[in-house]
Amino acid sequence: MNNEAAKSCISIEELTKKIVDTDRKYNLSKILSAYEFAAKAHGDQKRSSGEPYIVHPLSVAEILVDLGMDTDTICVGLLHDVVEDTEYTLDDIRALFGQDVALLVDGITKMSRIPIFDKEEQQAGNFMKVLLAMAHDIRVMIIKLADRLHNIRTLGYLPPYKQRRIAQETMNIYAPIAHRLGIRTIHEELEDTSFRYLDPYAYSEIEHVMLLKKEKREMFIDSIIERLSRRLEQEHFSKTPMISGRVKSIYGIYKKVYILHKNIDEIYDKYAIRVIVDTEAECYLVLGIVHSFFRPIPNRFKDYIAAPKANMYQSLHTTVTSIEEIPFEIQIRTWDMHISAEYGIAAHWKYKEGIQKRDRMEERLAWVRQVIEAQQTSDDVEEIVNIIKNDIAPEEIVVMTPRGDSITLPQNATVLDFAYRIHTEIGHKTVGAKVDGKMVSLDYRLKTGEICEILTTKDPNKGPSRSWQQIVQTNEAKSKIRSWFKKERREENIQQGAMTLEQEFKRCRIVIPEGELEEFLADDLKRHNCESLEDFYASIGYGGVSLTKIMPRLKEQYIKKYGPQPESDNEELPIVEPAFGDGGGCITIDKIDDIVYKLAKCCSPVPGDDIVGFVTRGHGISIHSKNCINYVSAKLRGNPEEMERWMAVKWKETAKPMKLSTNIEVVAVDRVGLVFDVSKVIAEQKVLIHNLNSRLLKNGNAIIYASIHVDGTDQLSNLLSKIRRINGVISVDRARK
């Protein structure tokens, strides 16, 4: 069969003759216009062999004619590479050849975008499923097999590393599919040719052995055929049985040598005699004659008529020995079984007319699916069923990554489930997804055969969103998201807890000598089942430990251990309480006094500023100025979950403006006396300066920072406008830390 590789390529005239010579009805003019269009589209493109590209589609079409496929399938054989490799589109094909042809071409084009499969064998089964699922119309698969058959016949023109990869893929994927579809003619040639590239030494060794004994073998087979036909002539058959001899495929023999560790001379069924009769009953009649005429080898009889193989193969097999003590196999079958064995699924097009009827089509596809889904294993070593023993269950889907890995997921799985299955971190960093090249939403439900690409962010702060919990379908993804939140919350909680405790200590003037904190808190850690200081902080953070409850006792304990708190020379800083609730659409919160709040350091709001509160996790509310960059940018992001945590607050009316510290920054053209002028204006306004410093900017201007105490916003804005009037000042602002 492999000498076909050397066969010179077919011309359109020869193809036409071949089509006319079949006794099937073809729409020849449609096929010819498909040829003309493909020839024009491929133009002067060349194959690796140097031949014009059109040689390839022509050869594919020829294989499809040999298989007995219908007009549309042959047209697609001619057109199959047009969309992928030329400037013409699917719409062009649809306009010229109709929707059916366009759908088949689309199927082939999609398949050709799947990356070469060179993964481990366990994935091969899944990969096959993907291909078969992509071929919604089984004719797509048959065209793909014809395409691959011609490509592997001409593999010699490619560089060796490509030869290996394509041969491996063919051996792992396409040959088993051809086998599953029962197309022996394609199955064996795909196997033998791939094998020739994968193990050239073993191939030529077997080929050599077979050639050596060729004459002897042919003589032997001829004598058996003669003896058997003379014997069968004595019986009555409706038609004369056809008896022929054949040699098994090289790869078939190799597998026996390799798997059974036999010497090639010990392989029983290098030779096979095939007897084809008219009826099933005649098969058993022939079997009886064969068994009385030759000596059967025990346990070598297989009745594939009563129990067909997974791919619907039917025949009687038996191995017998001749009087010369040479064992050989006899296969007995009807003509129907024979056609089915040679052409498999393709036989439906070859010998049956009228495939247009939709229900017949459905019936056939159901049969194919059954063939594919069949989990039946065989004791026959020839079966490649062990490759696909990991057949996926129907309630699962198989989706591909852009690199060609197949991922099995439960039905209904979303792109997020897919992302988490690939890698936890990819899941966390997902920002979008593409399916078959198109953007989809994160709740998109994947289907078998789709290629899914996850888009991720490099932003280290990006994590899952809480709403994902409702989107994902797998427990795996759910628990990964949950644990992210637990972990992330913990870090946030520890930080906030530690900060709160520190502030509370400061307020109560508790100063614990370095390294003694854990010992000082040991009782409380125990009381709250905390194993470490971190645990304790985390508990404060999420509110498990209430500071208002434990502070009085801690104060006592502190005085007991370290003596009375030192008298402060500073007055305790006044606490200006923002009021939460009532007027102006503010959220009403009861027990205002229990709410822990702090003035945000980023914008240091002072009474009089418009403010807004942010509900921190486990640490009350932090008060920001409405102009604060953090609030403004949150509004811009507009994330609903985040926005829920911002609440309206306003200063208590009783909260009189008090001295508060704040920072200002002044940018001005640098000049002698600038800093003096600024500090003079501040002093004139009777504003206390804590700290003042200045530096030069790269552009030559000067910037002055001042930490000041003001009596509320009125005084502050007064001051700022005075400074603005100083000679050379460009801008004056509240400083953001």
Give the active site residues: 84-85
Between 81 and 282, CB nearer to Mn ion:
81
Tell me how crowded residue 32 is: count the other CB atoms within 10 A of its CB. Answer: 16
d(C-alpha 181, C-alpha 189), whole Å:
14
Number of residues that make up the chain: 737
User: Residue 275: what are its φ and ψ, rounded to 5°?
Assistant: -115, 125
CB of 147 to Mn ion, least distance (A): 4
User: Which of residues 62 and 147 has its CB atom nearest to Mn ion in the complex?
Assistant: 147
| Piece in contact with Mn ion (CB under 5 A), picked from 73-81, 82-90, 414-422, 718-726 | 73-81
Of positions 81, 169, 189, 609, contacts Mn ion by CB under 5 A: 81
Contacts of 586-593 with CB under 8 Å at 24 or more apart are 586/647, 586/648, 586/649, 586/650, 587/647, 587/648
CA separation for the pair 717, 87 (Å, rounded)? 68
Residue 55 or 286: which CB sits closer to Mn ion? Answer: 55
**Binding span for Mn ion by CB under 5 A among 80-88, 369-377, 566-574, 643-651:** 80-88
Helix axes 184-198, 250-260, angle to 10 degrees: 60
Minimum separation from the CB atom of position 78 to Mn ion (A): 11
Least distance (Å) between residue 150 CB and Mn ion: 7
Which one, 5 or 374, has the nearer CB to Mn ion? 5
Pairwise CA distance, residues 560 & 563, whole Å: 6
Residues 6+ apart with CB under 8 A from 483: none
* DSSP letter string, 397-428: EEEE-TTS-EEEEETT-BHHHHHHHH-HHHHH
User: For residues 552 and 660, what is the distance between their CA atoms, to the nearest angstrom?
Assistant: 28
Whole-number CA gyration radius for the chain: 42
Q: Which stretch binds Mn ion (CB under 5 A): 76-84, 313-321, 350-358, 517-525?
A: 76-84
Q: Is 324 helix (H, G, I), strand (E, B) or coil?
A: coil
Q: How far is the CB of 38 from Mn ion (least distance, A)?
A: 11
CB of 4 to Mn ion, least distance (A): 17
Q: Which stretch binds Mn ion (CB under 5 A): 81-89, 121-129, 155-163, 608-616?
A: 81-89
User: Among candidates 394, 413, 401, 390, which has minimal Cα distance to 450?
Assistant: 401
The 515-554 site mask, x for binding Mn ion (CB under 5 A), equals ----------------------------------------
Q: Is 188 in the site for Mn ion (CB under 5 A)?
A: no
User: Number of residues in contact with Mn ion, rule: CB under 5 A?
Assistant: 2
- Rounded to a whole number of angstroms, the minimum distance from the CB of residue 162 to Mn ion is 15
Task: State how far the alpha carbon of 578 is from the alpha carbons of 119, 574, 620, 648, 714, in Å.
Answer: 64, 13, 12, 11, 18
Give the list of residues 6+ apart from residue 728 with CB closer than 8 angstroms, or none. Answer: 668, 669, 670, 671, 674
- Residue with Cβ nearer Mn ion (152 or 228): 152
Distance (Å, rounded) from C-alpha 659 to C-alpha 687?
10
In the complex, least distance from residue 152 CB atom to Mn ion, rounded to whole angstroms = 11
For Mn ion, the closer CB: 163 or 249: 163
Q: Which is nearer to Mn ion, 117 or 251 (CB)?
A: 117
Comparison of 101 and 704: residue with beta carbon closer to Mn ion: 101
Q: Of 81 and 269, which CB lies nearer to Mn ion in the complex structure? A: 81
CB 219 within 8 A of CB 213: no
Within residues 126-165, the interface with Mn ion by CB under 5 A covers 147
Closest separation between CB of residue 186 and Mn ion, Å? 15
Identify the residue whose tokens are 């702060």.
461
- Residue 660: both structure tokens together: 């508060």
Exposure on the CB side of residue 228, measured as CA atoms within 13 A: 28
Which of 74-82, 173-181, 456-464, 474-482 is the region at the interface with Mn ion (rule: CB under 5 A)? 74-82
Q: In whole angstroms, what is the distance from residue 132 CA to residue 127 CA? A: 9
CB of 80: closest distance to Mn ion in angstroms? 6
Catalog residues that contact Mn ion under the rule CB under 5 A.
81, 147
